[in-house]
Amino acid sequence: MRYFLLGFLLCCVALVSIAGFRGDRTRRPPIELFPDMDRQPKLRPQAHNNFFPDQFSSRLPVEGTVARTLPLVVAGKQIYPFEDDPLNTGRVPGTTNFVETLPLPVTEQLLARGQQRYTINCAPCHGASGDGKGITSKYNMIATANFHDLRLVKMPDGEIFNTITYGKTLMGAYGPNVTITDRWAIVAYVRALERSRLALVDDVPEPLRSRFRK
């Protein structure tokens, strides 16, 4: 133990001898333990460069290059993930307002995909029925949102999409792991879970109502 204390004391003395007891401004370069990320060879955009025949540092893509980020095709329209479009942002273009409803057509296939992605990514915390009683609640983990709360029922679809993308409070961001269309599919399925408790018999199409009146 005494050797540890002696080593710790020597480290403190060395630190104080280098940095002093309080910080101070200096014109000397800072001490760099790993300087490789501070200065590195690179080409600055629109700058002069003698390496290329035309002396421009900005280069066109190599002929035949395929873009890594492919556009989404929605209703025959191509949309790239960086565009200011409700499909990408969940917001009304040019504003900070969330869109009220999904910018995708709600189909049986979309709901099936949403159920699958919800079960994988959301059900462990939010529960299979969306009541916030997933498997994590059995281990006394943090309180999880209940999708059947009136606040969330009234929340715009775009805001739920934004929460899935960027996270909120203690919930992490799922944008890097779940694709844009899958996030909207999850939103659609969350709405289906809410309707499973809030819907009325009159909301069911006439040919199917008899199933609920037996």
User: In the numeric block, which tokens belong to residue 207?
Assistant: 């040919």
| Residue 77 β-bridge partners | 74
- pLDDT over 60 (residue 21): no
What is the rounded distance in angstroms from the CA atom of residue 171 to the CA atom of residue 164?
9
24 band by pLDDT with thresholds 50, 70 and 90: low
The pLDDT, as a whole number, for residue 22 is 55
Which of 47, 37, 182 has the alpha carbon at shortest distance from 114? 182
Structure tokens at 24: 């101070």
Q: What is the pLDDT of residue 23?
A: 57
Does an H or E element contain 17, and which? helix 2-19
Residue 147 has pLDDT above 70, yes or no: yes
Q: At residue 29, does pLDDT exceed 80?
A: no
Bigger pLDDT: 80 vs 25: 80
Alpha helices (runs of H) in 20-107, residue ranges in sequence order = 86-89
Backbone angles phi, psi at 73, to 5 degrees: -110, 110
**pLDDT per residue as tens digits for the range 148-196:** 999 999 999 999 999 999 998 888 899 989 999 999 999 999 999 998 8
For residue 108, report the phi and psi dihedrals to the nearest 5 degrees: -60, -40
Q: In angstroms, rounded to a whole number, what is the distance separating the alpha carbons of residues 165 and 110?
A: 18
What's the mean per-residue pLDDT of the chain? 84
Contacting residues for 171 by C-beta, under 8 A, at least 6 apart: 125, 145, 163
Q: Each residue of 66-110: pLDDT tens digit?
A: 767 777 777 677 888 778 889 999 999 989 999 999 998 899 999
Q: Is 73 helix (H, G, I), strand (E, B) or coil?
A: strand
In this prediction, residue 19 has a pLDDT band, given cuts at 50, 70 and 90, of low
What are the pLDDT digits (tens) for 117-140? 999 999 999 999 999 888 888 877
Q: Residues 164, 175: contact at Cβ < 8 Å?
A: yes
Q: Which two tokens stand for residue 200?
A: 């009325």
Which tokens hold the place of 143? 């309180």
